[in-house]
Amino acid sequence: MTEVAGIADFDSIVAVYRAKVFRFALASLRDPDAANTITQDCFMRVFQSRGAFRGDCSLNTWIMQIAVNLVRDHVRNRRLQFWRNLGKRSNPLELASETLAGRERSPEVQAVLKEQVRAVWEAAAKLPERQRTVFLLRFVEDMDVLEIAAATGLAEGTVKVHLFRALDAVRKRVGKR
């Protein structure tokens, strides 16, 4: 039985690859609930797109590519959700402290982390406009240099220079505290 023909037996595919996908997701996310969700989503996508599998790569590679993309999307969405919620708050430090508190850290560690988040926000607010824009696009919207260049109309090298200077300025301002 070839792998392409074998994809018709979906139950067998799940039985063979479920544990592997789950282990990968769990190792990547360190969250059993999220890993279980990723695993279910992965096999939902495998089922939905099983007709599109051409056999250009092994079934294992194809399924793991789907899992890798789902984990990457999950991590990115979780990070972006934090920053979007932070921006919606009248007091962004409330959300930051709530998120930090949810990780079962001591009150002292929570206070230090809350102060660090506040210091970074204050330092970013004092950056020149282009540096601030590049900094926020990179670290709030999680855009890469090429995406930032396209969004701002700046050359890639210019984006890198502004990002370097912004990071340097934020580090110096935060370090002075």
Is residue 158 within 8 Å of 119, Cβ to Cβ? no
The CATH number of 91-175 is 1.10.10.10
Nearest Cα neighbor of 142 from 99, 91, 87, 83 is 83
CATH architecture type of domain 3-80? Orthogonal Bundle (1.10)
Res 43 pLDDT > 50: yes
Res 85 pLDDT > 80: no
In the chain, CATH 1.10.1740.10 covers: 3-80
- CA-to-CA separations, 121 to 80, 97, 105, 118, 170, in angstroms, rounded: 16, 14, 22, 5, 9
More confident residue, 112 or 44: 44
